[in-house]
Protein backbone atom coordinates (compact mmCIF):
# COMPACT_ATOMS: atom_id res chain seq x y z
CA UNK A 1 0.00 0.00 0.00
CA UNK A 2 1.12 3.57 -0.69
CA UNK A 3 2.75 5.21 2.34
CA UNK A 4 0.26 8.00 2.91
CA UNK A 5 1.68 8.98 6.29
CA UNK A 6 5.02 9.76 4.65
CA UNK A 7 3.35 12.43 2.51
CA UNK A 8 3.34 14.79 5.49
CA UNK A 9 6.92 14.17 6.57
CA UNK A 10 9.46 16.95 6.05
CA UNK A 11 12.65 15.11 6.93
CA UNK A 12 15.70 16.51 5.17
CA UNK A 13 13.99 19.78 4.27
CA UNK A 14 14.90 23.23 5.48
CA UNK A 15 12.22 25.80 6.26
CA UNK A 16 12.37 29.53 6.95
CA UNK A 17 9.49 30.86 9.04
CA UNK A 18 9.31 34.64 9.14
CA UNK A 19 7.47 36.00 12.14
CA UNK A 20 8.38 32.94 14.19
CA UNK A 21 8.73 34.88 17.43
CA UNK A 22 5.03 34.71 18.31
CA UNK A 23 1.54 33.76 17.25
CA UNK A 24 0.95 31.88 14.01
CA UNK A 25 4.62 32.09 13.04
CA UNK A 26 5.70 30.42 16.27
CA UNK A 27 3.26 27.53 15.97
CA UNK A 28 4.11 27.14 12.27
CA UNK A 29 7.81 26.77 13.08
CA UNK A 30 7.11 24.27 15.85
CA UNK A 31 4.80 22.20 13.65
CA UNK A 32 7.20 22.05 10.72
CA UNK A 33 9.96 20.91 13.06
CA UNK A 34 7.67 18.26 14.58
CA UNK A 35 7.29 16.77 11.11
CA UNK A 36 11.05 16.64 10.59
CA UNK A 37 12.02 19.94 9.00
CA UNK A 38 15.10 21.88 10.04
CA UNK A 39 13.67 25.30 10.79
CA UNK A 40 15.17 28.76 10.78
CA UNK A 41 13.07 30.94 13.07
CA UNK A 42 13.20 34.53 11.81
CA UNK A 43 11.73 37.60 13.42
CA UNK A 44 12.36 41.31 13.85
CA UNK A 45 12.65 40.45 17.56
CA UNK A 46 15.67 38.15 17.62
CA UNK A 47 15.16 37.20 21.27
CA UNK A 48 11.64 35.99 20.49
CA UNK A 49 12.91 33.96 17.51
CA UNK A 50 15.58 32.42 19.74
CA UNK A 51 12.93 31.40 22.27
CA UNK A 52 10.97 29.61 19.56
CA UNK A 53 14.11 27.88 18.30
CA UNK A 54 14.87 26.89 21.87
CA UNK A 55 11.43 25.35 22.38
CA UNK A 56 11.92 23.34 19.19
CA UNK A 57 15.29 22.13 20.40
CA UNK A 58 13.85 21.19 23.77
CA UNK A 59 11.31 19.02 21.94
CA UNK A 60 14.05 17.24 20.01
CA UNK A 61 13.80 19.22 16.78
CA UNK A 62 16.37 21.16 14.79
CA UNK A 63 16.17 24.95 14.68
CA UNK A 64 18.21 28.10 14.66
CA UNK A 65 17.24 31.78 14.83
CA UNK A 66 18.03 34.91 12.86
CA UNK A 67 16.83 38.49 12.87
CA UNK A 68 15.02 39.64 9.76
CA UNK A 69 13.36 42.91 8.82
CA UNK A 70 11.00 42.40 5.88
CA UNK A 71 11.26 46.13 5.13
CA UNK A 72 14.95 45.69 4.27
CA UNK A 73 15.72 43.99 0.95
CA UNK A 74 19.33 43.26 1.92
CA UNK A 75 18.49 41.39 5.12
CA UNK A 76 15.77 39.42 3.33
CA UNK A 77 18.20 38.39 0.59
CA UNK A 78 20.84 37.44 3.16
CA UNK A 79 18.36 35.23 5.03
CA UNK A 80 17.84 33.13 1.90
CA UNK A 81 21.27 33.19 0.29
CA UNK A 82 23.89 30.47 -0.06
CA UNK A 83 23.74 27.83 2.64
CA UNK A 84 20.48 29.34 3.91
CA UNK A 85 18.59 28.27 0.77
CA UNK A 86 15.33 26.69 1.89
CA UNK A 87 12.77 24.19 0.63
CA UNK A 88 9.89 25.88 2.46
CA UNK A 89 9.14 29.54 3.12
CA UNK A 90 6.39 30.60 5.51
CA UNK A 91 5.69 34.34 5.70
CA UNK A 92 3.43 35.55 8.52
CA UNK A 93 4.29 39.21 9.40
CA UNK A 94 1.53 41.78 9.30
CA UNK A 95 0.58 45.10 10.84
CA UNK A 96 -2.65 47.07 10.85
CA UNK A 97 -3.80 50.64 11.29
CA UNK A 98 -7.50 50.58 12.18
CA UNK A 99 -8.82 53.84 10.80
CA UNK A 100 -11.38 54.97 8.22
CA UNK A 101 -9.73 55.43 4.83
CA UNK A 102 -10.42 59.17 4.93
CA UNK A 103 -8.39 59.45 8.15
CA UNK A 104 -5.33 57.43 7.10
CA UNK A 105 -2.20 59.47 6.43
CA UNK A 106 0.26 58.78 3.65
CA UNK A 107 2.77 57.61 6.25
CA UNK A 108 0.32 55.12 7.80
CA UNK A 109 -0.65 53.80 4.37
CA UNK A 110 2.99 53.37 3.37
CA UNK A 111 3.84 51.63 6.66
CA UNK A 112 1.14 48.96 6.27
CA UNK A 113 1.94 48.42 2.59
CA UNK A 114 5.68 48.18 3.24
CA UNK A 115 5.35 45.43 5.87
CA UNK A 116 2.36 43.44 4.66
CA UNK A 117 2.53 43.60 0.88
CA UNK A 118 6.02 44.71 -0.05
CA UNK A 119 7.54 42.69 2.78
CA UNK A 120 5.83 39.57 1.45
CA UNK A 121 6.99 40.48 -2.06
CA UNK A 122 10.60 40.77 -0.91
CA UNK A 123 10.43 37.36 0.75
CA UNK A 124 8.75 35.47 -2.09
CA UNK A 125 11.03 37.07 -4.68
CA UNK A 126 14.17 35.96 -2.86
CA UNK A 127 12.87 32.52 -1.97
CA UNK A 128 11.35 31.98 -5.38
CA UNK A 129 14.58 32.73 -7.21
CA UNK A 130 16.51 30.29 -5.02
CA UNK A 131 13.89 27.54 -5.25
CA UNK A 132 13.45 27.88 -9.01
CA UNK A 133 17.19 27.47 -9.48
CA UNK A 134 17.03 24.15 -7.60
CA UNK A 135 13.77 23.00 -9.20
CA UNK A 136 11.73 22.57 -6.04
CA UNK A 137 10.11 24.41 -3.15
CA UNK A 138 6.92 25.47 -1.40
CA UNK A 139 6.12 29.12 -0.67
CA UNK A 140 3.38 29.87 1.86
CA UNK A 141 2.26 33.37 2.81
CA UNK A 142 -0.50 34.44 5.15
CA UNK A 143 -3.38 36.43 3.79
CA UNK A 144 -6.64 36.89 5.75
CA UNK A 145 -10.41 36.67 5.51
CA UNK A 146 -10.04 40.40 4.90
CA UNK A 147 -8.86 39.54 1.39
CA UNK A 148 -12.49 38.60 0.73
CA UNK A 149 -14.68 40.41 3.24
CA UNK A 150 -13.99 43.73 4.96
CA UNK A 151 -15.30 45.98 7.70
CA UNK A 152 -14.90 49.70 8.44
CA UNK A 153 -11.37 50.61 9.43
CA UNK A 154 -9.74 47.69 7.62
CA UNK A 155 -9.39 49.13 4.11
CA UNK A 156 -5.62 49.32 3.74
CA UNK A 157 -5.01 46.07 5.63
CA UNK A 158 -7.60 44.32 3.45
CA UNK A 159 -5.96 45.68 0.30
CA UNK A 160 -2.61 44.20 1.32
CA UNK A 161 -4.16 40.83 2.09
CA UNK A 162 -5.90 40.72 -1.28
CA UNK A 163 -2.63 41.76 -2.92
CA UNK A 164 -0.78 38.89 -1.24
CA UNK A 165 -3.19 36.37 -2.77
CA UNK A 166 -2.69 37.79 -6.25
CA UNK A 167 1.09 37.92 -5.88
CA UNK A 168 1.14 34.26 -4.94
CA UNK A 169 -1.17 33.27 -7.78
CA UNK A 170 1.12 35.02 -10.25
CA UNK A 171 4.17 33.43 -8.67
CA UNK A 172 2.51 30.00 -8.86
CA UNK A 173 1.90 30.51 -12.58
CA UNK A 174 5.43 31.71 -13.21
CA UNK A 175 7.31 29.13 -11.17
CA UNK A 176 5.10 26.07 -11.44
CA UNK A 177 6.96 24.83 -14.54
CA UNK A 178 10.17 25.08 -12.50
CA UNK A 179 8.93 22.90 -9.64
CA UNK A 180 7.93 25.62 -7.15
CA UNK A 181 4.48 25.84 -5.56
CA UNK A 182 3.00 29.00 -4.02
CA UNK A 183 -0.11 29.19 -1.86
CA UNK A 184 -1.83 31.54 0.59
CA UNK A 185 -3.51 30.80 3.91
CA UNK A 186 -6.38 33.06 4.97
CA UNK A 187 -7.14 32.81 8.70
CA UNK A 188 -10.21 34.14 10.39
CA UNK A 189 -9.90 35.71 13.84
CA UNK A 190 -6.95 34.22 15.70
CA UNK A 191 -5.81 34.89 19.25
CA UNK A 192 -2.43 36.54 18.53
CA UNK A 193 -0.59 39.73 19.52
CA UNK A 194 -2.01 41.45 16.40
CA UNK A 195 -5.58 40.96 17.65
CA UNK A 196 -4.83 41.71 21.32
CA UNK A 197 -6.58 45.13 21.22
CA UNK A 198 -9.84 43.42 20.24
CA UNK A 199 -9.73 41.12 23.27
CA UNK A 200 -9.74 44.17 25.51
CA UNK A 201 -13.25 45.01 24.27
CA UNK A 202 -15.59 42.25 25.45
CA UNK A 203 -18.42 43.14 23.05
CA UNK A 204 -16.06 43.28 20.06
CA UNK A 205 -14.42 39.99 21.02
CA UNK A 206 -17.75 38.22 21.48
CA UNK A 207 -19.11 39.65 18.22
CA UNK A 208 -16.20 38.17 16.27
CA UNK A 209 -16.70 34.82 18.00
CA UNK A 210 -20.38 34.74 17.03
CA UNK A 211 -19.59 35.43 13.37
CA UNK A 212 -17.68 32.16 13.09
CA UNK A 213 -19.80 29.06 12.43
CA UNK A 214 -17.84 27.38 15.23
CA UNK A 215 -18.70 30.24 17.58
CA UNK A 216 -15.18 30.97 18.78
CA UNK A 217 -11.80 32.40 17.91
CA UNK A 218 -9.01 30.21 16.55
CA UNK A 219 -5.90 29.29 18.49
CA UNK A 220 -2.60 29.83 16.62
CA UNK A 221 -1.86 26.09 16.61
CA UNK A 222 -5.06 25.50 14.63
CA UNK A 223 -3.35 27.04 11.61
CA UNK A 224 -0.36 24.70 11.88
CA UNK A 225 -1.99 21.79 10.11
CA UNK A 226 -2.54 23.81 6.95
CA UNK A 227 1.07 25.01 7.05
CA UNK A 228 2.39 21.45 7.30
CA UNK A 229 0.04 20.32 4.54
CA UNK A 230 1.13 23.03 2.11
CA UNK A 231 4.79 22.53 2.96
CA UNK A 232 4.66 18.78 2.40
CA UNK A 233 4.17 16.39 -0.49
CA UNK A 234 0.59 15.87 0.71
CA UNK A 235 -0.19 19.04 -1.28
CA UNK A 236 2.06 18.27 -4.25
CA UNK A 237 -0.75 19.12 -6.71
CA UNK A 238 -1.88 22.28 -4.89
CA UNK A 239 -0.59 25.64 -6.10
CA UNK A 240 -2.05 29.08 -6.68
CA UNK A 241 -4.65 28.41 -3.97
CA UNK A 242 -5.94 30.50 -1.08
CA UNK A 243 -6.86 28.17 1.77
CA UNK A 244 -9.40 29.64 4.20
CA UNK A 245 -8.98 28.51 7.81
CA UNK A 246 -11.65 30.69 9.32
CA UNK A 247 -14.09 28.53 11.28
CA UNK A 248 -16.67 29.12 8.56
CA UNK A 249 -16.57 32.93 8.77
CA UNK A 250 -16.71 33.42 4.99
CA UNK A 251 -19.10 30.51 4.37
CA UNK A 252 -22.17 31.78 6.24
CA UNK A 253 -24.11 35.02 6.23
CA UNK A 254 -24.34 35.10 10.02
CA UNK A 255 -26.59 38.14 10.35
CA UNK A 256 -29.71 36.30 11.44
CA UNK A 257 -30.66 32.77 12.43
CA UNK A 258 -33.84 32.00 10.47
CA UNK A 259 -36.66 30.09 12.22
CA UNK A 260 -36.31 26.71 10.51
pTM of the shown model: 0.95
Position 102 scores a pLDDT of 98
Domain 10-192+221-244 part of CATH 3.40.50.720 = yes
Among this protein's residues, is 229 annotated catalytic? Answer: no
In terms of C-beta density within 10 A (0-12 exposed, 13-18 middle, 19 or more buried), how is residue 227 classed? Answer: buried
Low-confidence stretches of the chain (pLDDT < 50) are none
Strand partners, 41: 17, 65
As a whole number of angstroms, the distance between CA 236 and CA 213 comes to 30
- Kindly list the domain boundaries of the chain, sorted by start residue: 10-192+221-244
SS3 253: coil
As a whole number of angstroms, the distance between CA 62 and CA 16 comes to 12
Position 255 scores a pLDDT of 77
| Those residues with Cβ within 8 angstroms of residue 251's Cβ, 6 or more apart along the chain or in another chain | 213
Q: From the candidates 157, 205, 208, 237, give the one annotated as an active-site residue.
A: 157
Position 190 scores a pLDDT of 93
Position 257 scores a pLDDT of 78
Closest-CA residue to 77 (of 123, 133, 139, 137): 123
In terms of C-beta density within 10 A (0-12 exposed, 13-18 middle, 19 or more buried), how is residue 158 classed? Answer: buried
Amino acid sequence: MFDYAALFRLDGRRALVVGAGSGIGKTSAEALAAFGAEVTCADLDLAAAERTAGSIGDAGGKADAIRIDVRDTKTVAAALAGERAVDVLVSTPGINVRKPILDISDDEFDRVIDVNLKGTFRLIRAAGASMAGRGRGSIIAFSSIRSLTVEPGQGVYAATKSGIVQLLRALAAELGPRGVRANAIAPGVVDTPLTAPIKQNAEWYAGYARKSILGRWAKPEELAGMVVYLASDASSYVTGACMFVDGGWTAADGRFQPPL
